């Protein structure tokens, strides 16, 4: 037996016991009344006529009752006490008691009440008549007394008060046990109307007594009077009930306006139990298969749909659907007995179900929006592959940590770079490389402290923000422990791969914030790599990444904000004709104190400072504006801008470039992005996507310093470039080194076979120019033609030209129209279209 069934059994026992006690008490009163009547002899015709009138009055008073429903149990509020007190004014007490029982029995039998209710109703009203009669006897009241009403008002009021109190004392506990509604709640319900009704009934009783004292034959006008008052009271009670019902519905629907779905469902159960006086309420959702059940105070079940509902009583089911007609669940109301909802209750139920449907949808939508927002926030601050924090999250967390370092101890950053990681990608493929990165991430995360933050900055570079350090010296010990976690070989497809790493550790500086801390760790890591060490701590006296402290983040931030970064341009010339075909943009820092600073002295610091996007944007803007001005002057030149490999790790970089081109109206094919041959360039899929987007949009790509790396061909096969630039070291050595000439020749042949433009850097003499042209190189740049200059000076040089030829910076190698005899080396591999007598200026 469940706890609910046990509670129901206990309630039924107490109810039967209480009703039995009332019935036995009424039976005793009836027996005493019969004996008293018998003691006075056989009743006369007048006695019987009076009894008939009294019985009729009681029937009328018991019949015109106000019907209310508490849970599934209907209850009536009748006017029986009015008839009882009126009867005591003109009939003996024993007759009143017996006629009350007879009249109430007739009235209750007409409406076909259940036996238990019928017995309680008859017995209760007989006890009320008995109590009122005893009060009259105690206060020397006689039914045949001819004293005026003014002298009999006190006994009448006393008897009425006893009847009202006893009626409440007997009725409310029985209703509470039958409906399982608290006694205090029943007592407080409509107390003001009950008080007003009680006063009105007392006035009616006094009026009836006054009428009967004048003429007992006027008894027949009492029922219409009672009926009129009953109708007025019933109307008032119905109006109050409807007003309270609408207010309760408004409160219930307002309570559903919550963004927490669990709270919405729990509130719905409690509110519906109160609103409809239901014994149990259940809400079932189709989406997710969840069911929640309870009453007005507790939740008895919350789990997957399928739990059996209460097996007894009456169930009313309403679909949860909105104005679109889509059903999202069901609302069940359980009542312990048969029930028929009124029209107003049915409308209230539909309104509540619609409001609940809307609340569930709103809460579900809010939960989904919150989930998506959390996912986006997580994705924006975490690395997709490893699940570690990314650079953005590291900077934000580090800034917060540095702001409260005096309270939480010192902070430090360990920067880790895996050695020879590219060999894993080239040998085993990128999926294997990704698995290595995941293992490294898991090991670092397992060894890091609970308050430390492990991040992946990109490629094979990791950073750990170490928090709560009591002293700077502890940072090195923590860093050693983190690096030691990578010593154990990694099992990969049956192979044991050893992971070597270099690390740099730096303790939080006094100024510069998190960007400066990360820069110092980067400096220390590169020092460890160059020295072949596993770990190096940052030392200011060994910081060669900056000159004269010009790389401090304060100077860099100011330089970007105040546009101290400028761009010079070095022309790229057709080696045969001397005509300018393009220009390379070279960034300069016009420092207010130290003058012009070469990019080799600040580019590394810019990349590590977090200001690279702003710096790149400034260079792009100035380069595109210059190309636009040259084009407006009649010189259709392309402009080449060097791009840091770190910029290619930013998926939004193509959008930045294309937006600037569009804003200045420069065609994409007039811009060349020069890429440094870098080992990490070919191993990152995001770089492939970035370069693919740029090339598809029409931007030209060039591979700078070609031939200086050992993976030149593998990089070239991966990157969709349009141009190759031969490094100046080969040009400078070509007069004395056969190997340098071989490299240049092979590069030119490779470019010709791939239909790429080949440009030689560092051309400083005419012999170099002629030798390069004879090897097949068609373009070059260097001091032979011009040193880097501002955009304005370059425009002036283009207009001035060479020997009156506008747009040229050197004399042509051959006169126009002359026949050129090419050397066998240059003639090899040339297409027919390449055998031209000259190139136009």
pLDDT digits (tens, 9 = 90+) for 206-217: 666 655 555 555
Q: Architecture of 391-542 per CATH?
A: 2-Layer Sandwich (3.30)
Say if residues 778 and 581 touch (Cβ distance below 8 Å): no
Q: What is the CATH number of domain 259-377?
A: 3.30.450.40
Asked if residue 52 has pLDDT above 80, the reply is: yes
H or E segment at 779? strand 779-781
pLDDT digits (tens, 9 = 90+) for 23-38: 888 888 888 888 888 8
Model confidence at 64: pLDDT above 80? no
Residue with tokens 């593998």: 714
Name, in order, each residue with C-beta under 8 angstroms of 580's C-beta and a sequence gap of 6 or more. 571, 572, 573, 574, 635, 637, 798, 807, 808, 809
- Stretch 424-438: mean pLDDT: 83
Three-class SS of residue 837? coil
Look up the pTM and report it.
0.41
What is the rounded distance in angstroms from the CA atom of residue 615 to the CA atom of residue 619? 6
Long-range pairs of 608-611 with CB within 8 A, sequence gap ≥ 24? 608/515, 608/518, 608/519, 608/522, 608/523, 608/545, 609/515, 609/516, 609/519, 609/551, 609/553, 609/556, 610/391, 610/395, 610/515, 610/518, 611/515, 611/553, 611/556, 611/557, 611/560
Give the contacts of 401 (CB within 8 A, at least 6 positions apart): 408, 411, 465, 467
**What confidence score (pLDDT) does residue 498 get?**
79
Element (H, E) at 743: helix 738-753
Q: In the predicted model, what is the mean pLDDT of residues 96-102? A: 87
Range from 317-326, 422-431, 486-495 carrying the lowest mean pLDDT: 422-431
Check whether 73 has a pLDDT greater than 60: no
Contacts with 2 (C-beta within 8 Å, 6 or more apart), sequence order: none
735 phi and psi, to 5 degrees?
-75, -20
- Structure token digits, residue 740: 């340098």
pLDDT at 3 over 60: no
* Range name among 346-350, 477-481, 806-810 with the lowest pLDDT average: 346-350
Q: Where are the domains of the chain?
A: 3-245, 259-377, 391-542, 559-829
User: Angle at Cα 575 formed by Cα 571 and Cα 581, nearest 5°?
Assistant: 40
Is the predicted pLDDT of residue 162 greater than 80, yes or no?
yes
| Cβ-proximal residues to 149 (8 Å cutoff; 6+ apart), any chain | 206, 209, 210, 213
Mark residue 593 as left, alpha or beta (left: phi above 0; alpha: psi -120 to 50; beta: remaining).
alpha
In terms of pLDDT, which residue wins out, 85 or 787?
787
For the stretch 434-456, pLDDT in tens is 999 999 999 999 999 888 999 99
- Measured distance CA(744)–CA(56) in Å, rounded: 129
H or E element in which residue 676 lies: strand 671-676
pLDDT digits (tens, 9 = 90+) for 245-304: 677 778 878 888 888 888 888 988 888 888 777 878 888 888 777 888 888 788 888 888
Position of tokens 């809460």? 363
Report whether pLDDT(569) > 90: yes
Alpha carbon distance 191, 182 (integer Å): 15
735 has a pLDDT exceeding 90: no
Long-range pairs for 759-762: beta carbons < 8 A, 24 or more residues apart: 759/572, 759/702, 759/723, 759/724, 759/725, 759/726, 760/575, 760/725, 760/726, 760/731, 761/705, 761/725, 761/726, 761/727, 761/728, 761/731, 762/727, 762/728, 762/729, 762/731, 762/732
pLDDT confidence band for 70 (50 / 70 / 90): very low
* φ, ψ for residue 568, nearest 5 deg: -105, 160
Question: Which of helix, strand or coil describes residue 730?
Answer: helix
What's the pLDDT at 440? 93
Per-residue pLDDT, 308: 62
For residue 397, pLDDT over 70 is answered with yes
Helices (H), 330-429: 343-381, 391-403, 405-408, 421-428
Residue 4's pLDDT is 47
Residue 414 binned pLDDT confidence (cut-offs 50, 70, 90): very high
Q: Of the ranges 383-397, 613-627, 680-694, 740-754, which one carries the lowest mean pLDDT score?
A: 680-694
Which position has the higher pLDDT, 79 or 121? 121
The whole-number pLDDT of residue 655 equals 92
> How do residues 500-557 score in pLDDT, each as one tens digit?
889 999 988 766 678 888 888 988 988 888 777 889 998 876 665 544 444 455 677 7
In sign, the C-alpha dihedral spanning 193, 196, 200, 206 is: positive
Angstrom CA distances, 374 to 362, 379, 454, 718, stand at 18, 8, 20, 36
pLDDT of residue 792: 93
Question: pLDDT tens digit string along 622-631?
Answer: 999 999 999 9
DSSP string, 430-448: HHHHHHHHHHHHHHHHHHS
**Least confident range of 140-154, 419-433, 799-813:** 140-154
Comparing 56-60, 398-402, 520-524, 710-714, the range with the smallest average pLDDT is 710-714
pLDDT band at 128 (very low <50, low <70, confident <90, very high): confident
Q: How confident is the model at residue 44 (pLDDT cuts 50, 70, 90)?
A: confident
Closest CA to 694 of 707, 675, 713: 675
Position 208 scores a pLDDT of 61
Count of CA atoms in the C-beta half-sphere (13 A) of 755 = 2
Q: Do domains 391-542 and 559-829 have the same CATH topology?
A: no
Asked if 841 and 802 count as a contact pair (C-beta separation under 8 A), the reply is no
The tokens of 650 are what? 């930013």
Domain covering 559-829: architecture: Alpha-Beta Barrel (3.20)
pLDDT band at 115 (very low <50, low <70, confident <90, very high): confident
Instruction: Find all residues with CB under 8 Å of 245, minimum gap 6, and list them.
Output: 275, 344, 345, 348
pLDDT exceeds 70 at position 558: yes
């Amino acid at each position: 037996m469940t706890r609910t069934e046990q509670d129901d059994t206990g309630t039924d026992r107490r109810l039967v016991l209480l009703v039995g006690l009332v019935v036995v008490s009424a039976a005793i009163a009836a027996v005493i009344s019969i004996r008293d009547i018998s003691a006075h002899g056989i009743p006369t015709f007048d006695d019987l006529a009076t009894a008939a009138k009294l019985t009729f009055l009681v029937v009328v008073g018991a019949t015109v009752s106000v019907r209310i429903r508490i849970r599934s149990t209907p209850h009536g509020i009748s006017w029986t006490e009015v008839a009882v007190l009126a009867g005591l004014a003109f009939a003996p007490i024993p007759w009143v008691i017996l006629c009350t029982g007879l009249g109430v029995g007739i009235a209750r039998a007409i409406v076909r009440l259940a036996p238990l209710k019928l017995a309680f109703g008859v017995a209760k009203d007989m006890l009320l008549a008995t109590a009122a009669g005893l009060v009259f006897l105690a206060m020397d009241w006689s039914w045949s007394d001819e004293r005026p009403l003014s002298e009999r008002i006190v006994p009448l009021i006393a008897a009425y008060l006893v009847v009202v109190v006893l009626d409440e004392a007997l009725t409310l506990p029985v209703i509470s046990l039958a409906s399982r509604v608290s006694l205090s709640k029943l007592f407080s319900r409509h107390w003001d109307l009950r008080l007003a009704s009680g006063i009105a009934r007392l006035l009616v009783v006094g009026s009836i007594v006054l009428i009967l004292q004048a003429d007992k034959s006027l008894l027949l006008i009492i029922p219409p009077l009672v009926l009129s008052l009953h109708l007025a009271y019933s109307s008032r009670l119905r109006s109050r009930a409807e007003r309270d019902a609408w207010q309760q519905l408004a409160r219930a629907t307002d309570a559903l306006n919550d963004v927490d779905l669990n709270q919405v469902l729990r509130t719905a159960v409690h509110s519906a139990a109160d609103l409809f006086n239901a014994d149990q309420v259940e809400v079932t959702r189709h989406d997710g298969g969840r069911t929640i059940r309870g009453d007005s105070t507790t939740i008895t079940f919350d789990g997957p749909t399928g739990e059996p509902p209460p097996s007894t009583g009456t169930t009313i089911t309403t679909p949860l659907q909105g104005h679109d007609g889509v059903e999202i669940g069901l609302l069940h109301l359980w009542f312990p007995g048969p029930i028929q909802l009124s029209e107003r209750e049915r409308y209230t139920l539909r309104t509540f179900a619609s409001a609940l449907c809307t609340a569930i949808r709103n809460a579900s939508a809010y939960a989904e929006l919150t989930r998506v927002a959390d996912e986006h926030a997580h994705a924006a601050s975490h690395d997709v592959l490893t699940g570690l924090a990314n650079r953005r999250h590291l900077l934000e967390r580090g800034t917060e940590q540095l702001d409260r370092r005096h309270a939480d101890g010192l902070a430090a950053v360990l920067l880790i770079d895996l050695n020879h990681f590219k060999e894993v990608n080239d040998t085993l493929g990128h999926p294997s490389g990704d698995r290595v990165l995941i293992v490294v991430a898991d090991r670092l995360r397992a060894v890091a402290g609970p308050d430390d933050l492990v991040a992946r900055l990109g490629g094979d570079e990791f950073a750990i923000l170490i928090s709560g350090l009591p002293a700077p010296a502890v940072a090195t010990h923590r860093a050693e422990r983190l690096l030691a976690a990578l010593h154990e070989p990694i099992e990969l497809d049956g192979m044991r791969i050893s992971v070597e790493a270099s690390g740099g550790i730096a303790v939080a500086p006094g100024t510069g914030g998190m960007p400066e801390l990360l820069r110092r760790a980067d400096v220390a890591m590169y020092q460890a790599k160059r020295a072949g060490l596993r770990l190096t701590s940052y030392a200011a006296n060994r910081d060669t990444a900056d000159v004269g402290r010009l790389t401090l983040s304060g100077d860099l931030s100011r330089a970007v904000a105040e546009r101290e970064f400028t761009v010079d341009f070095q022309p790229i010339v057709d080696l045969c004709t001397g005509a300018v075909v393009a220009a390379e943009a070279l960034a300069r820092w016009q420092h207010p104190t130290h003058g012009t600073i070469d990019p080799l002295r600040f580019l590394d610091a810019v990349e590590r400072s977090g200001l690279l996007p702003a710096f790149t944007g400034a260079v792009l803007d100035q380069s595109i504006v210059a190309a636009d001005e040259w084009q407006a002057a009649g010189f259709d030149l392309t402009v080449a801008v060097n791009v840091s490999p770190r910029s290619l790790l930013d998926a939004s970089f193509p959008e930045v470039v294309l937006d600037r081109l569009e804003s200045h109206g420069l065609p994409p094919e007039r811009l060349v992005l020069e890429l440094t041959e870098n080992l990490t360039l070919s191993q990152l899929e995001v770089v492939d996507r970035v370069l693919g987007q740029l090339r598809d949009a029409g931007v030209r790509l060039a591979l700078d310093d070609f031939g200086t790396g050992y993976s030149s061909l593998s990089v070239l096969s991966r990157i969709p470039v349009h141009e190759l630039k031969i490094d100046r070291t080969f040009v400078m050595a070509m007069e004395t080194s056969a190997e340098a000439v071989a490299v240049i020749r092979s590069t030119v042949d490779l470019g010709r076979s791939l239909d790429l433009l080949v440009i030689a850097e560092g051309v400083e003499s005419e012999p170099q120019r002629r030798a390069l042209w004879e090897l097949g190189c068609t373009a070059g740049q260097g001091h032979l033609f011009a040193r880097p200059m501002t955009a304005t000076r370059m425009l002036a040089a283009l207009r001035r030209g060479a020997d009156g030829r506008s747009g040229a910076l050197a004399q042509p190698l051959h006169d126009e129209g002359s026949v050129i005899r090419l050397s066998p080396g240059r003639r090899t591999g040339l297409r027919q279209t390449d055998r031209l007598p000259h190139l136009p200026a």
